[in-house]
Amino acid sequence: MARITLRQLLDHAAEYGYGVPAFNINNMEQLLAIMTAAQAVDAPVIVQASRGARAYAGDIMLANMVAAAEAMYPGIPVCLHQDHGNDEATCFSAVQMGFTSVMMDGSLEADAKTPASYQYNLDVTTRVTELAHKLGVSVEGELGVLGSLETGKGEAEDGHGTDQTLSHDQLLTDPDQAVAFVEATKVDALAIAMGTSHGAYKFSRKPDGEILAMHVVQAINQRLPGLHMVMHGSSSVPEELQERFNRFGGNMPATWGVPVEEIQRGIKFGVRKINIDTDCRLAMAAEIRRVATEKPDEFDPRKFLKPAMDALSALCRRRFEEFGTAGNASRIKPLSLAAMARRYQSGSLNPRAPLSVAV
């Protein structure tokens, strides 16, 4: 068994200057594809489950699938993370199921739609962190609301997120507020708002600094060099995947995601966790479409899912290599939750010393 906490993994990533993709999982095929890629390049893994994934597969299935994957690949440290926890109940039920990390997304209220006040976010995140750390579990918070700087819209595409039009103040994390938030809540990692959004339709053109605000990453990194930042909505929506999806009957209007080179720049400035779901969906869906188109007589699900897994695995492997994750699994010895809890208690993990640097 090699289950690892987010905090230990991201501390290692910071020490050695790499980033870790966090891939969403909902089923066995996705998990196996990610693990195969990780094993091939010796990469530690973050797999994350949304509330939707937990409802789809069921907690018992998800938790046992991850345990099985760990048994199959004992040399690969695996962090099991709750993606976008909307309240304390979601976070703590994940902990009960063996998740070693939770995201308390207090940027929105518990309905996962209404933008929350700073005070609400601070209070709910602090409550989660206090208890999670007693159990050794890591916590990711979020400050600022995910959404497009082009349209001011949130992330309604996936059926969650706000449908309100947001101001740039809401859509961009304030670096000074980030310092105060991290100090008060003691989160292990902070998701920031910088113009990225979930789903395939992030940008209507190749993003520049106007619509993908990398300067926010740099400003926060200057103030809190030890902070692990998280980029959500970080699928690159590669042109070749769009093309393949459309070639076999898909209907995806031209769109742009987050270029890999921007993520690599972010990693130099403290981005340690990079959330990717859409690219994984697209890689699999394009192959399922291809088989359905090329072999209309096929009805064995494995004939659709095996090429889909191979395409996802190739994508994951590329990201492990591009983010520098490859080669690091065997350099990490996972600490138990009890050992992590003792570290939090002794104060050796908190607080992060902020640097008061003017930007």
- Restricted to residues 271-310, the positions that interact with ligand G3H (CB under 6 A) are 277
Residue 50 engages ligand G3H in binding (rule: CB under 6 A): yes
> What is the C-alpha to C-alpha distance for residues 358 and 176, in angstroms, rounded to an integer?
10
State the Cα–Cα distance between residues 107 and 170, nearest whole angstrom.
10
Least distance CB 331 / ligand 13P (angstroms):
26
- Map residues 67-106 to x or -, x wherever contact with ligand G3H holds by CB under 6 A: ----------------xx----------------------
What string marks each residue from 63 to 102 as x (binds ligand 13P by CB under 6 A) or -?
A: --------------------xx------------------
Residue 276 in contact with ligand 13P, rule: CB under 6 A: yes
- How near is the Cβ of 341 to ligand 13P at its closest, in Å? 26
Interacting span for ligand 13P (CB under 6 A) from 136-144, 210-218, 230-238, 316-324 = 230-238
Q: What's the rounded Cα separation, in Å, for the pair 4 and 2?
A: 6
Q: Are residues 21 and 313 in contact, defined by beta-carbon separation less than 8 angstroms?
A: no
Of residues 11, 83, 188, 279, which has the active-site annotation?
Answer: 83
Q: Shortest Cβ distance from residue 277 to ligand G3H (Å)?
A: 3
Measured from the CB atom, the residue of 146 and 305 that comes closer to ligand 13P is 146
Tell the smallest beta-carbon distance from residue 24 to ligand 13P (Å). Answer: 6
Stretch that binds ligand G3H, among 28-36, 49-57, 88-96, 169-177 (CB under 6 A): 49-57
Based on the residue annotation, tell me whether 169 is a catalytic residue of this protein.
Answer: no
In the complex, least distance from residue 353 CB atom to ligand 13P, rounded to whole angstroms? 29
Q: What are phi and psi of 318, to 5 degrees?
A: -60, -45
Whichever of 219 and 231 has its CB closer to Zn ion, that residue is 231
Task: Please answer whether residues 36 and 72 qualify as being in contact, where contact means their C-beta atoms are separated by less than 8 angstroms.
Answer: no
**H or E, element range at 177:** helix 175-185
Task: Report the alpha-carbon distance of residue 16 to residue 337 in Å, rounded.
Answer: 23
Contacts of 232 (CB under 8 A, 6+ apart): 142, 146, 191, 196, 198, 275
List the Cα angle 85/90/92 in 5-degree steps.
110
Q: What token pair was written down for 62?
A: 């998800």
Count of CB atoms situated within 10 Å of the CB of 130: 13
Helix/strand/coil (H/E/C) assignment for every residue in 258-291: CCHHHHHHHHHCCEEEEEECHHHHHHHHHHHHHH
The answer to whether residue 153 forms part of the interface with ligand 13P (CB under 6 A) is: no
Q: Is 220 or 305 the residue whose CB approaches Zn ion more closely?
A: 220
Residues marked as catalytic: 83
Which residues contact ligand 13P by CB under 6 A? 24, 83-84, 198-199, 232-235, 275-279
Which residues contact ligand G3H by CB under 6 A? 24, 50, 52-53, 83-84, 158, 160, 198, 277
